[in-house]
Chains A and B, each alone.
Chain A
Amino acid sequence: QQQVKQSPQSLIVQKGGISIINCAYENTAFDYFPWYQQFPGKGPALLIAIRPDVSEKKEGRFTISFNKSAKQFSLHIMDSQPGDSATYFCAASKGSRLTFGEGTQLTVNP
């Protein structure tokens, strides 16, 4: 059973545009929602994370929006750059066990 659903599977954005990746979860016990960025041949790198007591968190060009009632959260990348081209994973956890979404391959064209 896939507990975290992520969309879209792939995304192409022009340089300077906004990239938006969405995730939905089923388990209401989840209380921590991180996003990871993974480049080919590398391990995932923690980008930004949010807890369900806030609706939005911003770090630089990256923003998480969280909708607890809808059990959805999303990553917005403002002013997308070619260097942002990577695979992005959302995740959710209760305690220490992370459950990952399927991943979104982002391509930012120059």
Chain B
Amino acid sequence: SAVISQKPSRDICQRGTSLTIQCQVDSQVTMMFWYRQQPGQSLTLIATANQGSEATYESGFVIDKFPISRPNLTFSTLTVSNMSPEDSSIYLCSVSSGRGREQYFGPGTRLTVT
């Protein structure tokens, strides 16, 4: 499976600011995804990061709040904009090579908004 890293691993941010989370994979992958996991809860898909085109967002998530970039086949960013305490969560990227259906997750970014 691919080795996935995320930066930062954790951050504490002020209300109203924005944070950009990076996801780097050690090999080219077909698909990259961003999930949110609120403390003690399950994972919810935010969007699919498409290379060379706009991300595909799930119901309840919008581009203005969670802009996503994917400039190449190994890198993606998720920005959490105009943060509020309700945005405190773990943000996870995952990847799929496309050959199978397997998705592999990065270590996550733990965000606390004060």
Q: Is the CB of A102 within 8 A of B1?
A: no
Q: Which residues of chain A have C-beta atoms less than 8 A from B45's C-beta?
A: 97-99
Q: Which residues of chain A have C-beta atoms less than 8 A from B42's C-beta?
A: 89, 100-103
Interface range on chain A (Cβ under 8 Å from partner): 20 to 34
Q: Which residues of chain B have C-beta atoms less than 8 A from A49's C-beta?
A: 101-102
Q: Is the CB of B31 within 8 A of A43?
A: no
A44 close to chain B: CB less than 8 A: yes
B34 close to chain A: CB less than 8 A: no
Which residue of A41, A99, A103 contacts B41 across the interface (Cβ within 8 Å)?
A103
Q: Is the CB of A42 within 8 A of B107?
A: yes
Instruction: Give 7 A-B pairs besides A93-B101, A97-B45, A98-B45 with Cβ atoms closer than 8 angstroms.
Output: A42-B107, A42-B108, A44-B43, A89-B42, A96-B48, A100-B43, A103-B41
B81 close to chain A: CB less than 8 A: no
Interface residues of B in 35-52 (CB under 8 A from A): 41-45, 48
**What is the number of contacts between chain A and chain B, taking CB atoms within 8 Å?**
50
Question: Which residues of B are at the interface with A, using a C-beta cutoff of 8 A?
Answer: 1, 4, 31, 33, 41-45, 48, 58, 92, 96, 101-108, 110
Q: Which residues of chain A have C-beta atoms less than 8 A from B58's C-beta?
A: 97
A46 close to chain B: CB less than 8 A: yes
Interface residues of A in 37-60 (CB under 8 A from B): 41-46, 49
| Pairs A–B under 8 Å by Cβ, sample size 14 | A32-B101, A34-B103, A42-B107, A43-B108, A44-B43, A44-B105, A46-B103, A89-B43, A96-B33, A96-B48, A96-B101, A98-B33, A98-B43, A100-B44
